[in-house]
Chain A
Amino acid sequence: MATPVIMPRQGQSVESCIIAKWHKQKGDQVNVGDQLFTYETDKATFDEEATVAGTLLEIFFEEGDDVECLLNVCVIGEAGEDASQFRPAGEAEEAAPQAEAAPVAEAAAPAAAPVAVSDVAKDNQFISPRAKARAEKLGVDIRFAEGSGPKGRVIERDVEALAQSGVAFTKAAQAEAAGSADKFEGTGIGGRVTTGDLKRPVAEAVAEAMNAQEGVAYTDVPLTNIRKVISKAMHNSLSSTAQLTLNTSFDATEIMAYRKKLKANAEKLGLGNITLNDIVLYAVSRTLLNHQDLNANMLDDKMRIFNHVNLGVAVDTPRGLMVPNIFCAELKTLSEISAETKELASACQGGTISPDLLNGGSFTVTNLGSFGIESFTPVLNAPQTGILGVDTIVQRAKEVNGEIVYYPAMGLSLTFDHRAVDGAPAAKFLQELKTNLENFSVLLAK
């Protein structure tokens, strides 16, 4: 029996996760315990293991897709089984708003440019049970139906109309086109879309987009206030400081194991929400006081050395970047840091963050690891003297007792203000941080 694999919900506040990597491909044989895919929240990375054995029948999302929690991600079953019933209903919907907002010029880019998106089923599109059954029978992709029933409900006649208009798929084509929001022209029997037809839309899309350029090729969007603030701050940071970046990586085996243990015992311990990022924050808070020049603000004629670690956490919000602070982080437990981070992030995203929490930071941590960034140059949150960038985890090889072994390496990118700190002290901080993270259990014991 085919079994769907859902995108797990890593804690109540997580609404979606990004698929970082597929470890199996469609058609692969899967055993219990095999890694299926790696996925990330904004703060951490997880591996999803198979809990049933069989063939990976279907993959509904690509690497990099942001997948709503609890949606079916893939299906494992016996070879040849039909997995289409597990296809998430809203899978194609993502494309719609994106396409509407995206600059038209970008629409010319292959694969990223859906065509005739207005035909795609809208958010909260209701479909009558009868229409669903009819679409199944006719081989019509119901996502393309235009609902003409009460409250826009897709009813039987809409499916009939769709079938009449030719958008019907052969079984094979339907399976292949699954996940695509494109519209296809059927050339098969009774106007059915065949697998051959699936290849056509790209060229058509380009043509259509080129035509569209004859009209308006761009859109002017006025800056929001927050964007203006960010713009000013970033420019000020780069123009008034002497910043440079050091990159390193550490063996994340221990913190991943630790994280896994917390997750496995989530019910018992109630610590299932602690992310890898939280662990990094904790380590930073415990390391920083040994490197006081990095726990400081560079003011015009003086350095303000902080007695406590007021740890800034960069949060990506719909309105733009925000950096709330965890005050006295070195006094807080991992669990408290984790909880506070989530609260702050959610307050920022909801726009309810108190301005008091946005000022007075002594150091900042920013994480782009969830986007697969291997190393980058964080921009100082001036007048702070340091900012740590957390990168994604990549497999690295190292030699252990003459053997090459692979280990998960998590990148760290430290930008510091050379006006306040020299290269060696900054490197020492990174080194100590790396040691603390690689021996996290020891750090916890301190």
Chain B
Amino acid sequence: MPKSQFMDPDVLRKPGFIEFEPIPVNQYNKTIKEESKNFSKDDFLRIYRDMAIIREFEQMLLDIKTKSEYQGIAYNNPGPAHLSLGQEASAVGQAYLLDKNDYIFGSHRSHGEILAKGLSCIHKLDDKELLADMEGFFDGRTYKVVEGKEKDKGNVKDLAIDFLLYGALAEIFARETGFNKGLGGSMHAFFTPFGIYPNNAIVGGSATIAMGASMFKRINGKPGVVVSNVGDASMGRGPVWEALNMGAMDQITQLWEEGYNKGLPIIFNFFNNLYGMGGQTMGETMAYNFLARVGAGVSPTQLHAERVDGYNPLAVIDAMRRKLDIIHTQGGPVLMDTLTYRMTGHSPSDASTYRTKEEVDKWAEHDVLVNYEKKLVDAKVAKADDFAAMREDIRERMKKIVTLAIDDSVSPRMDLVKNPNIIADLMFSNEKVAKMEDRTPDVLIPKEENPRVQKIAKKERFGFDKNGKPVSKNKVYQLRDGLFEAIIDKFYEDPTLVAYGEDNRDWGGAYAVYQGLTESLPYHRFFNSPISESAIAGSAVGYAMSGGRVIAEIMYCDFIGCCGDEIFNQLAKWQSMSAGVLKMPVIIRVSVGSKYGAQHSQDWSSMCAHVPGLKVVFPVTPYDAKGIMNSALNGTDPVIVFESQRIYDVGEQFHEGGVPEGYYEVEIGEPDIKKEGKDLTILTIGATLYRALDAAKELEEKYGISCEVIDARTIVPFNYEKVLESVKKTGRIVLASDACTRGSALNTIAQNITEMAFDYLDAPPVVVGAQNWITPCHELETAFFPQKDWIIDAIHEKILPLPGYTATHNFTETEQIRTNKKGV
């Protein structure tokens, strides 16, 4: 919504045509002789060697999967193996020009890509760098297994190839010496020192993440390009389209500042093997006919789309050379449709019911290794014997690697009996890092000159005046100010911090948390995203795993449904799936609505709490909002920050002296006693706190029951000590939140309290959540969300019958059974 861009009807209403440039299809047509200018004999042969290594690696896995042996070595691998036999030329061709600063992200079928990229890096790196990378990785744990076992003794590159093959295979076999200690496995093996970033078992999952990584490179001025390697069938997934669009969004070239206004350095490469499992993309499941066509629909650059013959390594290298040049000169993104073919099934259990033997045989005639060898022999670059010797050498090497990778004494699995907490300890990194990089943050004005900062300076930082009267909304320091203060402080501290989401810039966020931020920050640090929740969350994952810090905003909690994969499968998992190699300093700000009906008023904090790997917080006072946001921003873990739209304007009512101006942290995981009492505890999550306080007041005034009100503040992690202490004192507890009761995190808390304080309880803990319905319109909301009188009713019916009290809501056991029976 920049005012600088004028939407002129005189122009926009003019007739005309949108014109497209022709999209090249397999245009490469050079002979070996012509290519001799670009490749030495060694280069030609190394390309063959790399393809042959991939071929042997995948054949070895196929033998193990289907025959439980390889070269006479018996082994059973129960894990997955999505093999890329037939796709070797595509992988090697792509990697040939890439170095360690270039990142590749892959799919479930990426063994070949990992090896090709690794081999390319090994060729380019000098011995010193290679040794440092190997020795430095997990304190040399992987390196020690292969150290000194290279065939050509003392040859570091030879050793590094052993290291690469071993690290990948040990990972596939779930060994602790693998690249990710066995926590990634076949579909998630990667090795960041060589620029090999996570592969992804979610189809198309890498597209948004890779786009985020390319944002990191552009915004922070890092060298290298990013390649998103996904399959042709992933073009059927919304997040992939979101990534293409957001990666190519106009503002980058039109609005971002000088130095940052070149298109993102990303190649959206699709290894087009014509099938998504068995679904034939061309002719059956997709509409594009040629995948490369899609580029023309995304942006005026047509994403420089092209179909490349992925069965010829030289054609792919040629294309990569041209595409890298485009990225370096004009900027990306680039779309590549790399045609290839997988000779084996989707997985070893695939019966190939969807294609004929004739088709497979025909592609076998085009076999990349056979044909490439023939061309080189014909061109007299090398003799057939040279290739045979190379293959024999590779088989010998592969036998050595397999022997090591299946040997439990050198390649053990994680010992979860001896060390039961290994994985638990990897779920969060729990570090405190004030800034992800040490340089001056790029800002537009000094913080003191920021209009919002100046406005806040005039506000009352406590909600009540000297006489105990509430300060008016206009004068009081509000919850949104607490969030803003923490965020703007971090923007002036951490140069990598970026924030984006829908309507963030100019508008200041739908609920004015970001109001005033536009004035301080350049576009490339603070911008409006397309309405693409998958791309927002997914790019944040990629940005963070590349080394940056992000605040991504999901405007309504309900929209988490649009980015379920990115939050639950990607954001939550990469720290632990990388065995701690990757950090994930991502804040997802989520606004919980009310007043807007079934699709805009849900509290899904419980849903987020259910998925391991996410920290989930829900601050509801200005003091907590600033303190928790500070903690989240200073940490290295993904934190989902829930904010309630009911209370953005609430003043601080609890923290004496009001919200401090300086920096402070509220530790994530610590509930807070908002009101002390002795007869009954009310624990709340979210804005329900204020209704609970009203209930406490009535219970105290009318029935003489002194209530202790505790605000959970955080759902994951959660320290029970304070709550248990309270329950042991009062003997009674009601738990309330606006989340639907069924599956609410409150039930988990109630269960734990029951287990740990049973002997102190005078009644079972009672959960008061929202109805298991759709959220109705605002006028009917009091029948849906827990209200003050619900809490009192529940106490009366289930905990402590109140003299003379008549419940108005049905909290009887019969009702509980009835509603559950009906599923409501």
Contact = CB atoms under 8 A, between A and B. Distances in A.
A155 B762 contact: yes
Interface string B728-764: 0001000000000000000000000000001111110
A374 B241 CA distance: 98
Contacts of B758: 129
B800 A157 contact: yes
Interface stretch (A9-17, A146-154, A232-240): A146-154
Nearest to A155: B762
Contacts of B801: 148-150
Contacts of A382: none
A128 interface: yes
Q: How large is the interface on B (under 10, 10 to 19, 20 to 34, 35 or more residues)?
A: 10 to 19
B797 A129 contact: no
A155 B759 contact: no
A157 B758 CA distance: 17
B798 A130 contact: no
Contact of A150 (B731, B760, B761, B763): B763
A156 interface: yes
A274 interface: no
Given A130-B731, A156-B731, A150 B762 contact: no
B797 A149 contact: no
A131 B759 CA distance: 9
A67 B800 CA distance: 35
Contacts of A149: 762-763, 799-801
Interface in A128-150: 128-131, 133, 148-150
A164 to B, nearest CB: 15
Interface in A151-189: 153, 155-157
Contacts of A156: 731, 762
B798 A129 contact: no
Nearest to A128: B762
A128 B727 CA distance: 14
A153 B797 CA distance: 12
Contacts of B759: 129-130, 133
Contacts of A153: 763
Nearest to B731: A130
A130 B762 contact: yes
A133 B757 CA distance: 13
A128 B763 contact: yes
Interface in A80-130: 128-130
A159 to B, nearest CB: 10
Contacts of A128: 731, 761-763
Contact of B798 (A148, A150, A157): A150
A129 B800 contact: no
Identify the interface centre among A133, A150, A156, A157: most chain B CB within 10 Å of its CB: A150
A150 B799 CA distance: 7
B43 to A, nearest CB: 78
Contacts of A155: 762-763, 800
Nearest to B796: A150
A145 to B, nearest CB: 12
B798 to A, nearest CB: 5
Contacts of B763: 128, 149-150, 153, 155
Interface in B149-176: none
Nearest to B799: A150
B799 A130 contact: no
B762 A131 contact: yes
A444 B761 CA distance: 60
B526 to A, nearest CB: 54
A193 B97 CA distance: 95
A150 B813 CA distance: 11
A130 B801 CA distance: 16
Contacts of A133: 759-760
A157 B703 CA distance: 13
B799 A129 contact: no
Identify the interface centre among B758, B761, B762, B798: most chain A CB within 10 Å of its CB: B762
Contacts of B762: 128-131, 149, 155-156
B193 to A, nearest CB: 57
A155 B760 CA distance: 11
A390 B759 CA distance: 51
Interface string B219-247: 00000000000000000000000000000
A128 B762 CA distance: 5
Nearest to A129: B759
Contacts of A148: 801
Interface string B538-573: 000000000000000000000000000000000000
A156 B758 CA distance: 14
A115 to B, nearest CB: 28
B795 to A, nearest CB: 10
Nearest to B811: A150
Contacts of B760: 129-130, 133
Interface string B795-813: 0011111000000000000
Contacts of B761: 128-130
Contacts of A131: 762
A148 B799 CA distance: 10
Nearest to A154: B762
Contacts of B800: 149, 155, 157
B470 to A, nearest CB: 35
Contacts of B797: 150
Nearest to B759: A129
Nearest to B803: A148
A156 B759 CA distance: 12
A150 B763 CA distance: 9
Interface in A389-424: none
A272 to B, nearest CB: 38
Nearest to B813: A151
Interface string A7-40: 0000000000000000000000000000000000
Interface in B781-824: 797-801
B114 to A, nearest CB: 58
A142 to B, nearest CB: 13
A149 B732 CA distance: 12
Nearest to A133: B759
Identify the interface centre among A128, A131, A157: most chain B CB within 10 Å of its CB: A128
B405 to A, nearest CB: 55
B548 to A, nearest CB: 52
Nearest to A159: B762
Contacts of A157: 800
A153 B800 CA distance: 10
A150 B758 CA distance: 17
A149 B803 CA distance: 11
Identify the interface centre among B731, B797, B798: most chain A CB within 10 Å of its CB: B731
A155 B797 CA distance: 13
A276 to B, nearest CB: 45
The 6 closest A-B pairs by CB, nearest first: A130-B762, A130-B731, A128-B762, A156-B762, A129-B759, A155-B762
Interface of A: 128-131, 133, 148-150, 153, 155-157
11 contacts: A128-B731, A128-B762, A129-B762, A131-B762, A148-B801, A149-B763, A149-B800, A149-B801, A150-B763, A150-B801, A155-B762
Interface of B: 731, 758-763, 797-801
Given A149-B801, A153-B763, 10 more contacts: A129-B760, A130-B731, A130-B761, A131-B762, A133-B760, A149-B763, A150-B763, A150-B801, A155-B763, A156-B762
